[in-house]
Amino acid sequence: ARLPELLRRMPKAELHIHIEGSLEPELIFALAQRNGVSLPYADVESLRQAYAFTNLQSFLDIYYAGASVLIQEQDFYDMAWAYLQRAAADHVVHAELFFDPQTHTARGIAMETVVRGLHRACSDAKAQLGVDATLILCFLRHLSEEDALATLEQALPFRDLFIGVGLDSSELGHPPEKFARVFARCRELGLHLVAHAGEEGPPAYIWSALDVLNVQRIDHGVQALKDPALVQRLAQDRIPLTVCPFSNVKLCVFPDLASSNLAQLLDAGLAVTINSDDPAYFGGYLNDNFVQTFAATGLTAHHAYTLARNSFEASFVTEAQRHDWE
Ligand code: ES4
Ligand code: ZN
């Protein structure tokens, strides 16, 4: 069979998707109208034209502005449900969805509104789409550790509705060790731990995500190749990297898909996965990332099987569930 067909049809897990980054311009405008929120863009077309980013921060500014239309529990449900339908079409059988509660609680939206809306979409996805979906609460690293600790407290009544915590937003100047205490607390609570590191930031941030935060996966991690000792550590401990090829190009981490270092990371024996990050902003969903990255870099069917297997191995699913899929 043709390689694109194999890539599109193979069952896979998505482990790095910010649910607020799945909010399409059409849904942003629909929710703005429903909630009486005014946007600084005349229409869908002019909003889409603003999606020209030069680095991570230039994206985050517009991504946080887009999230301002989310007010009611149903809005969070509708956003997640739209993503989960697309995921099902891409043969995603398991998804771990990042969400950014502080983006919403800072605007006066209750934690309960956010978590219940997202969780209800995950429940319906299992029943109606056959997609197993879970939630990972991310702390915004440009805010203080005190703010993260307060956010964790607000989320504890809903402890059973998310499986882990992550760390995202502006990386440079906000190293993982800034969040040592809150991650230690999450570890005591039995939560899974991940962190964005080595997207724009240096290998030192990947080291401290591992050694100070004790994370189980690194989100992005593409800067690891600058440090051979780090590559050895990641290989030795089989620490997964959730790589996002479209994201890296749109945020100018690499000039184009052909310059992606995915093949080198795989050749180094690392547990690499492919993910969509913020699909509504970066030009495509998971299968688009797979097909276009393979076309640009010359990866083969052998790599496709490895990436699919890695996505399940790197996921936080139970052994019993994994057995069903493999
Ligand atoms: C993000 Cl691409 C990326 N990096 C860091 N934080 C984020 N939040 C949403 N997308
Ligand atoms: Zn991300």
Per-residue pLDDT tens over the stretch 174-197 = 999 999 999 999 999 999 999 999
- At 287-323, the pLDDT tens digits run 999 999 999 999 999 999 999 999 999 999 977 777 7
**Residue 199 DSSP class:** S
The number of residues in the chain equals 326
Give the ligand with the smallest distance to the CA of 251. 1
Give the ligand with the smallest distance to the CA of 277. 2
Instruction: Note the pLDDT of residue 252.
Output: 98
Binding residues: 16, 18, 196, 277-278
Average pLDDT over residues 52-72: 97
Relative to beta strand 192-197, strand 164-168 is: parallel
Q: How far apart are the first and last CA of the chain?
A: 20
**Mean per-residue pLDDT over the chain, rounded:** 97
Is the distance from CB of 11 to CB of 71 less than 8 angstroms? no
Instruction: Supply the residue whose CA is at minimum distance from atom 7 of ligand 1.
Output: 169
d(CA 209, CA 220): 12
Residue 264's CATH number: 3.20.20.140
Instruction: Note the pLDDT of residue 321.
Output: 76
State in Å: Cα 2 to ligand 2 middle. Answer: 30
Tokens in use for 222? Answer: 């593409």
- Split into its structural domains, the chain has a count of 1
Among 194, 277, 282, say which to mutate for ligand 1: greatest number of ligand atoms within 8 Å of CB: 277
Average pLDDT over residues 249-257: 98
CA proximity to 204, closest of 229, 241, 167, 238: 229
Among 18, 57, 223, say which to mutate for ligand 1: greatest number of ligand atoms within 8 Å of CB: 18
pTM over 0.95: yes
β-strand partners of 219: 196, 242
Instruction: Supply the residue whose CA is at minimum distance from atom 8 of ligand 1.
Output: 169
CA proximity to 102, closest of 149, 46, 57: 149
- At 200-238, the pLDDT tens digits run 999 999 999 999 999 999 999 999 999 999 999 999 999
Tokens in use for 237? Answer: 């401990």
Is the distance from CB of 295 to CB of 223 less than 8 angstroms? no
State in Å: Cα 167 to ligand 1 middle. Answer: 9
The ipTM (two decimal places) reads 0.98
Q: Is 14 assigned a catalytic role?
A: no
Among 16, 17, 22, 56, say which to mutate for ligand 1: greatest number of ligand atoms within 8 Å of CB: 56
CA proximity to 168, closest of 86, 28, 67: 67
Give the ligand with the smallest distance to the CA of 282. 1
Atom of ligand 1 nearest to the CA of 247: 2
Instruction: Note the pLDDT of residue 1.
Output: 66
Instruction: Note the pLDDT of residue 191.
Output: 98
d(CA 243, CA 165): 18
Boundaries of domain holding 216: 3-325
Average pLDDT over residues 139-168: 98
Q: In what order do the strands lie in the sheet with 241-243?
A: 12-18, 92-99, 132-140, 164-168, 192-197, 217-220, 241-243, 272-274
Atom of ligand 1 nearest to the CA of 244: 2
Q: 20, 171, 199, 200: which one is catalytic?
A: 199
**CA-CA distances (angstroms) from residue 282 to 23, 107, 145, 204, 286?**
11, 25, 29, 27, 11
